[in-house]
Structures are given as C-alpha cells and as structure tokens.
C-alpha cells in the first residue's frame, strides 16, 4: 500500500490515507486518485513512507521524506521532509532526519539505586533555564 498525507494550505498534516499500489503506480497517479475520490487538490496529497523514521528506513530500504507523519505534523517542501512541530524555541530542525534537536547535548548519566541497580538518569528540557543561561537546559528528573 502507498501512503499519502493530506495537507492544508499551512502544510499541516490533516490525515494519512492508503492507496493500493496497483492504483498508485507513482506519486502522481496516487494524487490523482485521491483528488478524484476525496475532493481535495492533488498537490495537497504528499506521498510518505510508513517505514521511515528519523531519516532511516526501518526495514533497511531507502528512507523517504524523513518521517512517516502524524496528524498535526508539518510538510516541509523546501527540505522534502515531514516533521513534528518545534517543541522549544531554541531547538533546530535537522533537515536530514526531520528531528528537532536541542542546542546542547542531553547528559548521559546514571544513578545507582539503593539495591545497587544502575539505571539511566531521566532529563527534561527547560527552555527558561536555557534562555537564562545557554550552557544549561537539561534538568534531571527526581524520582518520587
């Protein structure tokens, strides 16, 4: 099955539909079919790959348009990718992976529990902390 994202004039993904490969022999054929059967302009149907995530094909094939989009995501025609909305003002879009990246690397630390089990620490991004001091931003979650 071929997958197509329906986008609006703001390039927001409204839904994703499938078209049988015998009909969608290429993107234009799929778009024409969707226009005819869904009353939505052909150019507002963008083909996507169900098996593409973060610029990688999950089954070893060729990645297509960086990500399989979710409703509310954006189509970036300039970079030919789908991506989520920008999570924080300071984050930048990696136009190869379609993933938003923090301006500083997330710490990779661990803690040792009382039973001596070593577990990875959990962090959350704090945009206010970053804006106040751009050498900070990741805040360690404290267990309850």
Write the pLDDT tens digit of every residue in 5-44: 999 999 999 999 999 999 999 999 999 999 999 999 999 9
Ramachandran angles phi, psi of 31, nearest 5°: -65, -45
d(CA 59, CA 55): 12
pLDDT at 34: 98
Gap between the Cα atoms of 48 and 81, Å rounded: 9
With tokens 């297509």, the residue in question is 64
Q: What average pLDDT score do residues 80-86 get? A: 98
- Please state, for a pLDDT cut of 90, what percent of the chain lies above it: 96
- d(CA 61, CA 63) in angstroms, rounded, equals 6
Delimit the domains of the chain by residue range.
2-86, 110-140
pLDDT of residue 144: 56
The answer to whether the beta carbons of residues 16 and 3 sit under 8 Å apart is: yes
**Which of the 8 DSSP states describes residue 115?**
T
| Average pLDDT over every residue of 46-51 | 98
């Amino acid at each position: 099955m071929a997958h197509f994202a329906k986008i609006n004039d703001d390039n927001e993904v409204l839904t994703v539909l499938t078209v049988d490969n015998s009909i969608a022999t290429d993107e234009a054929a799929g778009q024409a079919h969707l226009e005819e059967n869904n009353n939505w302009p052909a150019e507002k149907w963008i083909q996507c790959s169900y098996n593409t995530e973060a610029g990688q094909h999950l089954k070893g094939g060729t990645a297509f348009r960086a990500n399989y989009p979710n409703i509310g995501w954006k189509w970036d025609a300039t970079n030919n990718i789908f991506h989520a909305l920008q999570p924080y003002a300071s984050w930048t879009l990696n136009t190869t992976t379609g993933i938003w990246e923090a301006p500083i690397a997330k710490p990779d630390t661990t803690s040792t529990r009382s039973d001596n089990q070593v577990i990875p620490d959990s962090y959350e991004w704090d945009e206010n902390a970053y804006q106040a001091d751009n050498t900070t931003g990741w805040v360690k979650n404290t267990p309850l």
